Structure 1
Amino acid sequence: MLHLYDTVTRDVRELKMREPGKLGIYLCGPTVYGPPHLGHGRATLVYDILRRYMEWCGVRVRLVSNITDIDDKIIDRANRENRPWTEITHKCETVWFEAMNALGVLRPTDVPHATEYVEQMVQMIGELMAGDSAYATDDGVYLDISSVPDYGLLAHQNLDDMLSGGGDREVLGAAQKRHPADFALWKFSKPSEPSWPSPWGEGRPGWHSECVVMSLQLLGEGFDLHCGGADLRFPHHENERAQAVALGKTFAQHWMHNGFVVDIEGEKMSKSLGNVTNLVDLVQHYDPRAYRMLLLQTHYRSPVKVGQDNIDSSVKSLANLDGFADRMAKADLPTKSADTEVLAKFREVMDNDIDTPNAMAIIFDTVRRANIAIESGDTEVCAELATAVHEMCNALGLVLRSGDD
């Protein structure tokens, strides 16, 4: 039974499924205004590993991961480059999925685009207005956070602290707001900006309104798991949840956040900081499997440093596993099921908050034991161990290549 750290309760607890054997996951996807960086790659790989492991365990997973294809940053780039905003989003989405394919990330079950759900967003905002949880100003419609009694549940901070560290998205401004932390549900458009009709005026949805609508539309109330990078915990996920609570709806039952990718100095990598390592360049210059290998050897909640040394180390680790796969493919081994004790240990560590570093330690130890077995002529034991290695690697999405591949 899988146990995961829950950001709300701040402990590792059982991941309970609304329907036994079926897991519904919402993962906040990219805002398509530029090339993906390593932080994007980490988030998608972490949850790809989770998905693959759960499917390996026999669970039917529905993973919904959106595309934010309308946003201030998209509009800003379109204005700077004098290009249609849709040209930017289409191109960047193509680049995104090319990079994900190179990394071996499975395509989400559903890939909703924000622009496809604007009508539903307008409807939701109207319900919030009708319940006096939202109000209009000269520049848009805002959620009144005082209507959400447990606002701040995800951040585990008082409001003043949250306002001083609001992440990449601005939460202050607008003199007509009732409270500085009230956030935009609908933004009135300026001339020549993309816009949609609403009862309050032409405009576009706020970022926080997009994901709450798409997740509830596709997964329903009380869905199992909401995921994303640690930087999304506040304000984005907090504000998603606030809208659902204000509507009286049950939102995600479990919250999972992965740690940052940091540079050698320990600073978080993001487009906004300007110290980006482009994910596209990484997969073009290195075996794309190396990034998965690097992340598997770091717990998903811990920061991970990415540099030449640890990428090279991951490439060497892959070469060792590929060499093992090649040796086993060429050996005259009998067909055997995987060693059950090895798989039981693997499941034990994976069920403990997706402990991939210890899972990889089990894989490498099993490789060592299989090599000893074949050198001693014990082909049956070797075959059981080799099969276990392949099964565990498959569960993690780590494809091994023999000389014939």
Structure 2
Amino acid sequence: MKLIQKFTLWYLVITFVVLIIGGLLSYYSIKSEVDYEQVKYLRKNIDFTIRELNRGVIPDSLSQNRMEISELAMSTPKTRLSVTDTLVYTRYLRRKEPQLKVSTSQIIGGHHFYISTYGAIVDTRDITTAVVKSISTIFLIMLVVTGLVSILISRKVLLPFNRTLKAMQEFRLQQKKPLRLMETKTTEFKKLNNFLSLMTNKALKDYQTLKEFTENASHEMQTPLAIIMGKLELLLESQIDDEQAKLIVSAHDAVEKLSKVGQSLTLITKLDNREFESQETVNFSQVLNDSLFAFQELIEMKSLHLEKQIADHVKVKIHPLLSNILLNNLIGNAIRHNIKDGVIRVELTPARLEISNSGDPLNFPAEKMFNRFIKNNQSNESVGLGLAIVKQICEQSNIDISYDYRDSMHILRLSF
């Protein structure tokens, strides 16, 4: 729900509650005012009748228009003016209706008169209906007006905020461009824009510094490692005994693994920095066949049996370079973590890629499969970063990856 919609909803709820309370107050106020005016009118009629009787007018001539005059015994105590409710039969409606009755007794010209009059009471249902209709009409008008105003506000007042939000969504560190935000006179939006500008500028500087450090570190590390490996290879070709050869080979393997770790960490850093965001529609079938062909000799050397079922022209949206890295890591992992005379199964459909390899169960929890530097003891040549790279590539390419172990087979499944 949008911010303006929440404001509008809260405003309407509060307005509705206020209107209900106002309606109740209006109901009692109207009823009280109507009753007061009716009593006031009836008292005037009583006062007029008393004055006429004092003038000597015959009581019978005044007993009309809902005015009743009757003579009481002089011994009867006088009664003060009183207001009561009563029921009076109405010929027009043919039923008794509630009436407001005002009565008193007065001694006039040596006679004791009981004087009373009555008038219709406004039905409370009529007042309720009128109040409900008024409140409903007001609420509907406010609903329409508030809806229109909220649309105008969202387009005009919140325009700088929406522009800022869109700019943040489109901001990319890789573009190396500062954030451009819309000018605004609203204090809160100004503060927000200033804060975002400062943060994005700092992020750009930090990103550039990290990128340069990663590239420089990778280059500076790979150069001496290549020299060391070259020197070790030269030593292997010189006159040495078997014990020295074993030590040199061990050192060569360690340096080679260190080189792979450096390359893998550099790749992970680039993935973290999202330097491979430009995706294309790649012919995944062709890339997979090329990768399997590249590993064919290694598969045969390790006496592994390859079973493949690859659908033609399967298209996947992914960065071309990442597609090669992804498949090479998956196939290399299936070869590296296999057993003697083991099996590798590769199945590709338009919906998924499934790569399985035979092997013993994991010696660590399956949920740690894609963590960095996690590996099985059976593969000492692994640096433990291959599947971590695979996981990051899948996340960046919106591909779901899952792992399962069934029937002595490790199964990695990619869903497009």
Query: Which bin holds the TM-score, normalised by the shorter protein?
Result: under 0.3
* Higher RCO structure, 1 or 2 (CA under 8 Å, sep 6+): 1
In our comparison, the structure showing a higher alpha carbon Rg is 2
